[in-house]
């Protein structure tokens, strides 16, 4: 599967005039997305959109405007419009199930993002929303790979969105997902405590089976559910054996390390599979932790830039980064590997 | 409350309630249709406006179809509110 | 690409907690929609629902599911899942194999726990045991861990068509060689969230719903879970085979966030795509289990779309008058019913119908009868214009 367009709204300058060299700082353990001015969304529609829908549509806008370009929409989001969801819930309790406004209810369903894209693009093709928490984007990606195999020549809009709302931050904080002490993202990997920092964003890709002018190709993806780091390591070795040609090596391992001391064992185990040939890089200090954060990793691979020093954990000597493995892990249970080949810019 | 004052208040409430970020209350004309052309509201907005009438004026409308007769423009809404409000 | 067969089914709904009991109820025109007795809401007595009359703690005891943080949605799912895997005689080893996928669907997930969620979202201490149980994925993550599943695990939410899409995704995994067997379905339990949401949209009926009736007053919500075991042709020698999944189509109506277009492009296109996938002419369809929610919008549009595609539509009915609208479970529930139509060569009557919609004159089936059924279509349309149609065929 080949990637052509790629856009990203994240806590860093990734949407317009991308500059990933400068690292924007987190506040209160949250990395909030730098939302652009959404010029292309009709105000009558924009007014109803919660942040997740807005970011998703905003990131997809450059593509959505070109109606003929896409044949279907495949989105991964763990929570969709969480803010609207809890706003509606709060109405239920606060007004004691009295007269409630339905707007929040309609916007809160996770499929509202893909649906709104379909609406704006007048796209009556395949439209689906995967919500499998930390593997929502990976399942969307697998879906897109199947669609392309089944429908040669078609283009699909593949993307991922999740938002920080005060409410899900609160729930996840109570659940021990975030650090109790306030840190800043540039020090994320220096901390030794449990928990990480929260993030949000949207990344969109146009994918098809056409190699011409592609920025990258996704060779393979695999997902597993396990708490055993040795199992993760074993499956990754098999994965690499199957997907990587014999005479090639992994140039870069891009991991979802997130500063949570409880999850370090997975990353340590995975990194130990690679020798000095492979550069090891990280991305969660840029986007924070959220269930579909791996979509930002994929965008970083597609984007034309030098790898900024703040991403590099271990630099190797090879000059070209072609074969990339992304390893991400959500809460020590949901793991995903992607093998991507990046083409020369 | 004077009718004009009620209309001004209603316009502000509509803008706020429906999050009409690109519309100023004073831009809404009294006889401008709320739905379709004019303000361009839709069926979900009509339900939201029925909730507005309930929360702000204590007016209960059970049947959304009846609502459509009241929610024509600012004039019809203000007339109905003046006659039926309970708070 | 391999052919895909249904080798096991499980269901729990307001009309029974096994496939056999659901079939009996359908034959006997049993309606599971009634006043709420277990679930507490202000709308008890005002909005009848298809409630499963088993308390959550009873389900926990029956299923021996006493882990922390298990929600009613997960329990219903587990109930249906267990029946389906037993029906398909899947072993523990097969379940935990890398070649076994689980594709679930839900729209409510753990949000059935409205009060707990309210507290956990708004208060700064004393989190409940449900902190990681609110999302839709929590259901399938529970099943994954209970059965140590290691194949592809996924959760889909496309509102009311969620579990039809789960079945479609499962079939595609098989055809693409990404799994040898798939357990696909969905679950949803009654929740203040959905009762108030649909009520705020003024589409909940104060009476038992009357699909395709001229004077229909809206839908009744229900709760259910259903799973189907799908396997490939080459792996099913000697097994019981219910039906073949021959067609599926997914399309978006691209019209409005919560209602369907008058012309019904989404419904029309998904049915058309399903026929194309099955390589069947419209005339080959013997029966349609319609989406038929009994809202003014859905039944009018679905009727128009059926007329557009079929000219004279084949016999059809909606089982939502039996079970209520079970949202994320509805596609799988009705897939089970469609498979039963084929396996037993019988049509279940639609309930509560009196007069046809004037514009279309279409009348659903209202009498139980046996007949020769070759291909059954099952429709599901959701908010956001997400429309999916499945076709099952007789072996």
**pLDDT value at residue A42:** 83
In chain A, which residue's Cα lies nearest the Cα of C69? A175
The span from the CA of A56 to the CA of A257, in Å, is 25
pLDDT tens per residue across span C189-219: 999 999 999 999 999 999 999 999 999 999 9
For A107, residues 6+ apart whose C-beta sits below 8 A from its C-beta are A48, A49, A50, A53, A81, A84, C257
ipTM: 0.97
Give C-chain residues touching B51 at CB under 8 angstroms.
Answer: 200
Please name each of the domains of chain C with its CATH number.
4-235 (3.40.47.10), 247-393 (3.40.47.10)
For residues C306-317, average pLDDT: 98
Rounded Cα–Cα distance for residues C152 and C358 (Å): 47
Q: Counting beta carbons within 10 angstroms of the beta carbon of residue A192, is it exposed (0 to 12), middle (13 to 18) or buried (19 or more)?
A: exposed
Beta-carbon contacts of A8 under 8 Å, excluding residues fewer than 6 positions away, are A14, A15, A59, A201, A202, A203, A204, A295, A296, A299, A303
CA distance B9 to B60: 19
pLDDT at position B69 is: 85
Mean pLDDT of B23-42: 86
Domain boundaries, chain B: 3-84
Say what percent of chain A tops pLDDT 70.
100
Predicted confidence at residue A267, as pLDDT, reads 98
Chain A residues 29-68 with CB within 8 Å of chain C: none
Query: How confident is the model over B67-87, as a mean pLDDT?
Result: 89
**Residue C174 burial (CB count, 10 A):** 25
**Is the per-residue pLDDT at B38 higher than 80?**
no
Which residues of chain A have a CB within 8 Å of the CB of B21? Answer: 43, 46-47
Burial of A17 (0-12, 13-18, 19+ CB in 10 A): exposed
* Of A81, A108, A139, A165, the residue nearest A295 (C-alpha): A139
> Does pLDDT of C329 surpass 70?
yes
Of the listed ranges A11-20, B10-19, C73-82, the least confidently predicted one is B10-19
Can you name the CATH fold of B3-84?
A: 1.10.1200
Q: What is the C-alpha to C-alpha distance for residues B6 and B11, in angstroms, rounded to an integer?
A: 9
In sequence order, the 6+-apart residues with CB closer than 8 A to the CB of A42 are: none
A142: nearest CA in chain C?
C173
From B38, which residue of chain A is nearest by alpha-carbon distance? Answer: A44
At A73-131, the pLDDT tens digits run 999 999 998 888 888 999 999 899 988 988 889 888 999 999 999 999 999 999 999 99
For the residues A143-152, what does the mean pLDDT come to? 98
Name the pLDDT band for B19 (thresholds 50, 70, 90): confident
* Residue A106 distance to chain B (closest CA, Å): 9
Q: Is A189 exposed, middle or buried (0-12, 13-18, 19+ CB in 10 A)?
A: middle
d(CA A237, CA A245): 13
For the residues of B18-38, what is the DSSP string, one character each? TT-TT--GGGS-TTS-SBSST
* Residue B11 pLDDT level (bands cut at 50, 70, 90): very high
CATH homologous superfamily of A216-342: Thiolase/Chalcone synthase (3.40.47.10)
DSSP A52-92: HHHHHHHHHHHHHT-GGG-SEEEEE-SSSSHHHHHHHHHHH
Beta strand pairing call for A198-199 and C316-317: unpaired
Is the pLDDT assigned to residue A304 strictly greater than 90? no
Encoded tokens for C126: 């004393």
pLDDT band at C36 (very low <50, low <70, confident <90, very high): very high
pLDDT of A67 strictly over 80? no
- CATH for A2-208 is 3.40.47.10
Mean pLDDT of chain C: 97
Helix boundaries (H) for chain B: 3-17, 43-57, 64-70, 74-84
Residue A22 forms beta bridges with which residues? none
pTM: 0.95
* Contact in structure between C147 and C95 (CB atoms under 8 Å): yes
Cite the residue boundaries of each domain of chain A with CATH code 3.40.47.10.
2-208, 216-342
| Each residue's pLDDT tens digit, C234-266 | 999 999 999 999 999 999 999 988 899 999 999
CA distance C58 to chain B (A): 38
What does the angle CA B37 – CA C218 – CA C296 come to, to the nearest 5 degrees?
45
Q: Please state which of the ranges A28-32, A279-283, B81-85 shows the lowest mean pLDDT.
A: B81-85
pLDDT number for residue C283: 98
Give the pLDDT of residue B21.
78
Q: Which residue has the higher pLDDT, A318 or C332?
A: C332
**How many Cα atoms within 13 Å fall on the side-chain side of residue C308?**
17
Give CA–CA dist C9/A19, Å, rounded: 53
Lowest-confidence pick of A291-295, B52-56, C386-390? B52-56
- The whole-number pLDDT of residue C299 equals 98
Output the CA–CA distances (angstroms, integers) from residue C333 to C88, C106, C133, C164, C219, in the order listed: 17, 13, 23, 9, 16
A59: pLDDT strictly greater than 90: yes
Q: pLDDT at position C291, please?
A: 98
Is the CB of B43 less than 8 angstroms away from the CB of C259?
yes
Find chain B residues with C-beta within 8 A of C202's C-beta. Answer: 47, 64
Q: Is C256 in CB contact (< 8 Å) with chain B?
A: yes
pLDDT band, residue A155 (cuts 50/70/90): very high
Measured between beta carbons, the chain C residues lying within 8 angstroms of B44 are 201, 257-258
Percent of chain C topping pLDDT 70: 100
Q: Tell me how close the Cα of C170 comes to any Cα of chain A, in angstroms.
A: 10
**Cα-flanking dihedrals φ and ψ of residue C234, to 5°?**
-75, -10
Q: What pLDDT is attached to residue B47?
A: 86
Q: Which residue has the tokens 């907690």?
A: C17
Dist. CA A220–CA A141, nearest whole Å: 10
Instruction: Say whether A44 and B40 touch across the interface (CB within 8 A).
Output: yes
Work out the average pLDDT over A257-284.
97
* Chain A positions in Cβ-Cβ contact with residue B48 (cut-off 8 Å): 101-103
**pLDDT at A345 exceeding the cut of 70:** no
pLDDT at C106 over 90: yes
In C, which residues are within 8 Å of A96 by CB distance? Answer: 42
* Contact check, Cβ <8 Å, C196/A115: no
Per-window interface: B 32-51 vs A, CB < 8 A: 40, 44, 47-48, 50-51
Rounded-to-integer distance, Cα C218 and Cα C48, Å = 11
pLDDT at C34: 97
Instruction: Label each residue of chain C as H, E or C.
Output: CCCEEEEEEEEEECCECCHHHHHHHHHCCCCCEECCCCCCCCCCCCCCEECCCCCHHHHHHHHCCCCCCCCHHHHHHHHHHHHHHHHCCCCHHHHHCCCEEEEEECCCHHHHCHHHHHHHHHCCCCCCCCCCCCCCHHHHHHHHHHCCCCCCEEEECECECHHHHHHHHHHHHHHCCCCCEEEEEEEECCCHHHHHHHHHCCCECCCCCCCCECCCCCECEECEEEEEEEEEHHHCCCCCCCEEEEEEEEEECCCCCCCCCCCCHHHHHHHHHHHHHHCCCHHHCCEEECCCCCCHHHHHHHHHHHHHHHCCCCCEECCHHHHCECHHHHHHHHHHHHHHHHHCCEECCCCCCCCECCCCCCCCCCCCEECCCCEEEEEEECHHHEEEEEEEECC
Give the tokens for residue A343. 């083409």
Would you tell me how many other CB atoms lie within 10 Å of the CB of residue C371? 12
Q: Which residue has the higher pLDDT, C291 or B2?
A: C291
Nearest residue of chain C to residue A122 (CA atoms): C254
């Amino acid at each position: 599967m080949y990637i052509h367009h790629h856009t990203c709204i994240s806590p860093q300058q990734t949407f317009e005039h991308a500059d990933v060299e400068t690292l924007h700082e987190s506040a209160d353990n949250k990395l909030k997305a730098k939302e652009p001015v959404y010029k292309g969304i009709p105000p009558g529609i924009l007014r109803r959109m919660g942040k997740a829908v807005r970011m998703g549509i905003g990131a997809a806008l450059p593509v959505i405007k070109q109606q003929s370009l896409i044949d279907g929409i495949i989105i991964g989001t763990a929570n969709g419009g969480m803010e609207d969801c809890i706003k509606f819930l709060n109405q239920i309790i606060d007004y004691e199930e009295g007269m409630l406004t339905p707007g929040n209810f309609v916007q809160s369903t996770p499929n509202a993002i893909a649906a709104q894209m379909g609406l704006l693009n007048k796209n009556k093709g395949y439209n689906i929303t995967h919500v499998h928490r930390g593997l929502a984007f990976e399942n969307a990606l697998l879906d897109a790979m199947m669609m392309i195999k089944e429908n040669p020549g078609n283009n699909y809009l593949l993307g991922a969105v999740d938002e920080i709302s005060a409410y899900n931050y609160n729930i996840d904080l109570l659940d021990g997902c975030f650090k109790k002490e306030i840190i800043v993202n540039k020090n994320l990997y220096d901390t030794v405590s449990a928990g990480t920092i929260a993030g949000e964003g949207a990344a969109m890709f146009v994918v098809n089976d056409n190699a011409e002018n592609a920025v990258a190709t996704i060779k393979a993806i695999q997902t597993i559910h396990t708490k055993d780091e040795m199992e993760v390591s074993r499956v990754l070795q098999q994965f690499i054996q199957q997907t990587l040609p014999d005479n090639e090596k992994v140039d870069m391992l891009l991991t979802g390390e997130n500063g949570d001391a409880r999850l370090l064992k997975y990353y340590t185990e995975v990194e130990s599979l690679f020798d000095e040939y492979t550069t090891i890089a990280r991305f969660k200090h840029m986007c924070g932790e959220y269930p579909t954060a791996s979509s930002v990793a994929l965008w970083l691979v597609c984007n034309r830039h030098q790898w900024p020093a703040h991403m590099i954990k271990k630099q190797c000597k090879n000059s070209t980064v072609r074969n990339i493995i992304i390893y991400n892990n959500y809460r020590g249970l949901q793991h995903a590997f992607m093998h991507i080949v990046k083409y020369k810019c | 409350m004077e009718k004009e004052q009620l209309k001004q208040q209603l316009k502000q409430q509509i803008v706020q309630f429906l999050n009409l970020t690109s519309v100023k209350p004073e831009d809404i004309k009294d006889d401008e249709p709320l739905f379709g052309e004019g303000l361009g509201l839709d069926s979900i907005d009509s339900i939201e406006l029925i909730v507005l009438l309930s929360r702000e004026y204590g007016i209960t409308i059970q049947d959304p179809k009846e609502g459509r007769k009241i929610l024509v423009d600012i004039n019809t809404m203000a007339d109905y509110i003046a006659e039926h409000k309970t708070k | 690409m391999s052919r895909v067969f249904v080798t096991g089914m499980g269901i729990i709904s307001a009309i029974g907690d096994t496939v056999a009991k659901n079939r009996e109820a359908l034959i006997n025109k049993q309606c599971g929609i009634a006043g709420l007795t277990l679930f507490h809401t202000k709308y008890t007595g005002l909005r009848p629902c298809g409630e499963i009359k088993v308390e959550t703690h009873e389900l926990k005891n029956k299923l021996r599911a006493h882990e922390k943080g298990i929600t009613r949605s997960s329990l219903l799912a587990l109930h249906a899942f267990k029946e389906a895997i037993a029906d398909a005689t899947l072993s523990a080893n097969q379940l935990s194999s890398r070649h076994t996928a689980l594709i679930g669907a839900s729209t409510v997930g753990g949000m059935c726990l409205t009060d707990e969620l309210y507290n956990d979202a708004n208060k700064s201490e004393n989190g409940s045991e449900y902190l990681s149980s609110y999302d839709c994925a929590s259901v399938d993550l529970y099943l994954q861990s209970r059965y140590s599943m290691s194949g592809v695990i996924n959760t889909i939410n496309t509102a009311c068509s969620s579990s039809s899409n789960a079945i479609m995704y499962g079939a595609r995994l098989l055809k693409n060689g990404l799994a040898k067997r798939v357990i696909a379905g969905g679950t949803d339990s009654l929740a203040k969230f959905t009762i108030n949401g649909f009520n705020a949209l003024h589409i909940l009926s104060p009476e038992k719903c009357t699909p395709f009736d001229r004077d229909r007053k809206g839908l009744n919500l229900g709760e259910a879970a259903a799973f189907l075991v799908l396997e490939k042709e080459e792996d099913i020698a000697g097994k019981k085979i219910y039906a073949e999944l021959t067609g599926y189509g997914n399309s978006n109506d691209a019209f409005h966030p919560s209602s369907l277009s008058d012309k019904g492009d989404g419904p029309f296109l998904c049915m058309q795509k399903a026929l194309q996938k099955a390589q069947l002419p419209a005339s080959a369809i013997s029966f349609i289990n319609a989406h038929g929610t009994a809202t003014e919008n859905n039944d009018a549009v679905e009727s128009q779309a059926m007329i557009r595609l079929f000219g004279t539509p084949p016999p059809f009915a909606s089982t939502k008058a039996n079970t209520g609208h079970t949202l994320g479970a509805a596609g799988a529930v009705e897939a089970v019913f469609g498979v039963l139509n084929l396996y037993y060569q019988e049509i279940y009557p639609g309930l509560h119908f009196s007069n046809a919609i004037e514009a279309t004159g279409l009348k659903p089936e209202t009498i139980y009868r046996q007949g020769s059924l070759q291909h059954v279509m099952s429709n599901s349309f959701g908010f956001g214009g997400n429309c999916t149609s499945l076709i099952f065929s007789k072996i």
